[in-house]
Amino acid sequence: MISIVIPIYNEEELIEQLNEALASALKGAVDDYEIVYVNDGSTDSSLELLRGLQAVDSHVVVVELSRNWGHMGAINAGLQTARGRAVILMDGDFQDPPEVLPRMIDAWRKGAEVVVGVRRSRQESRKMLAFLFPLFYRVMGSLSDYPIPLNAGIFSLMDRRALDSVLAMREKNRYLPGLRAWVGYKNAIVYYDRQDRLGGEGKLSFISRIKYAMDAITSFSYKPLRLSFGLFGFTLSVSMLMLLCMFIPKSSVATAAFGLASAMFFVGGLVMLSIGILGEYVGRIYDEVRNRPLSLISHVHRPQVSIQTETGTIEVPVGSYGIAGGLSAMQAGSFQEQDAA
Ligand code: UDP
Ligand code: MG
């Protein structure tokens, strides 16, 4: 089974149309699916519409949140509820087109464990955002300490293993495209043209977008913390140059004021240095608090040993089930039964 997770906040204009579009996109592409709609404290008739859909469509799961928690909060609740072997995450406003889903599922069937929807083009009626998105991705691309696919949002498919790894990270300020890249596993990209919202208004406020961008940068880059080291180098060099100027004989710059300015740059440099050192510590404290795992295992391949039992030959990984030192035929037989059960 495949799960589709969709956060919904005041989308009454689109819900029924969306459910129909998903059903026709998924028909033929998968045998079984569930659509997990997360109602993020909508104040319009979204919840009633979703419950109405549920009455007639057995694929629909509705998660009701206690209030409006915001995009990421809704997504997280949906991901935790989804039971599929793979989970697709998308927005509920047709900006992530349902027609792309079969291509994502196809890539997953071919072995990808994370399929990322990357925007080839973007329809954005809001001019401000059309300007800010590329700027954000450029800054993120140059700052990030870990390669994160640019021009990719939440629209993606995650295999159960990758999803569980993402969910195991308990950090509160989540930048999902970053976490999804950070866990690794076999990745594939599906390019698509991001559409304009089909109806209703954009729900994310400008402030919440700025917060999200800051989450992205601070959770995947030490560079802002290290800025002080750069500034330290700069102020120290300026101060040294000024000091040297003081020794030019009969020069007009060899004045007390100039000497004072040089000293100020020097002290400024020392302050920057201490802030930089503090930053190194703060960065490490941040790592500890986030408690991300040091590594994630994708597969464990062990050499197999063949064991003869009364019922035939079985292949068992060396070292597992306490059989490293040899296993009696009886034990091996009982293991096989358990396995079958
Ligand atoms: N959304 C949500 N909670 C919120 C704001 C938005 O669940 O507090 C949902 C919204 O219904 C939509 C998705 O998140 O399905 C993306 O929101 P929107 O389209 O407004 O964001 P944009 O595309 O403008 O970035
Ligand atoms: Mg949108």
Query: Is the pLDDT score of 32 beyond 70?
Result: yes
Query: Is the pLDDT score of 329 beyond 50?
Result: no
Res 324: pLDDT = 43
Q: The pTM is what?
A: 0.77
Q: Does residue 78's CB lie within 6 angstroms of at least one atom of ligand 1?
A: no
pLDDT tens figures, 35-87: 999 999 999 999 999 999 999 999 999 999 988 988 998 999 999 999 999 99
Mutate to test the pocket of ligand 1, among 10, 46, 71, 197 (most ligand atoms within 8 A of CB): 71
Residue, of 205 and 14, whose pLDDT is higher: 14
Question: Does residue 218 contact residue 173 with C-beta atoms inside 8 Å?
Answer: yes
Query: What six digits make up the tokens of 31?
Result: 């045998």
Task: Report the amino acid identity of residue 251.
Answer: S
Q: Which segment of 1-5, 14-18, 185-189, 202-206 scores lowest on mean pLDDT?
A: 202-206
Q: Does residue 124's CB lie within 6 angstroms of at least one atom of ligand 1?
A: no
Q: Does residue 269's CB lie within 6 angstroms of at least one atom of ligand 1?
A: no
Burial of 285-309, coded b for 16+ CB within 10 Å and e otherwise, reads eeeeeeebeeebeeeeeeeebebeb
pLDDT tens figures, 181-193: 999 999 999 999 9
Res 108: pLDDT = 96
Query: Is the pLDDT score of 332 beyond 60?
Result: no
Res 339: pLDDT = 43
Q: pLDDT-derived band of residue 305, with 50, 70 and 90 as boundaries?
A: confident
In this structure, the residue with its CA closest to atom 19 of ligand 1 is 202
Q: Does residue 200's CB lie within 6 angstroms of at least one atom of ligand 1?
A: no
Burial class of residue 314, CB neighbours in 10 A (0-12, 13-18, 19+): middle
Q: What is the DSSP letter of 100?
A: G
Residue 91 Cα: closest atom of ligand 1 = 15
pLDDT tens figures, 197-229: 888 888 888 888 888 888 888 888 888 888 888
CA-closest candidate to residue 7, choices 116, 120, 153: 153
Backbone φ, ψ for residue 62 (5° rounding) = -115, 125
pLDDT tens figures, 80-104: 999 999 999 999 999 999 999 999 9
How remote is the CA of residue 70 from the centroid of ligand 1, in Å?
Answer: 8
Residue 204 Cα: closest atom of ligand 1 = 20
Q: Which segment of 107-121, 122-136, 145-159 scores lowest on mean pLDDT?
A: 122-136
Question: Does residue 305 contact residue 316 with C-beta atoms inside 8 Å?
Answer: yes
Query: Is the pLDDT score of 336 beyond 70?
Result: no
> What is the C-alpha to C-alpha distance for residues 105 and 157, in angstroms, rounded to an integer?
8
Ligand nearest to C-alpha 6: 1
Q: What is the DSSP letter of 196?
A: P
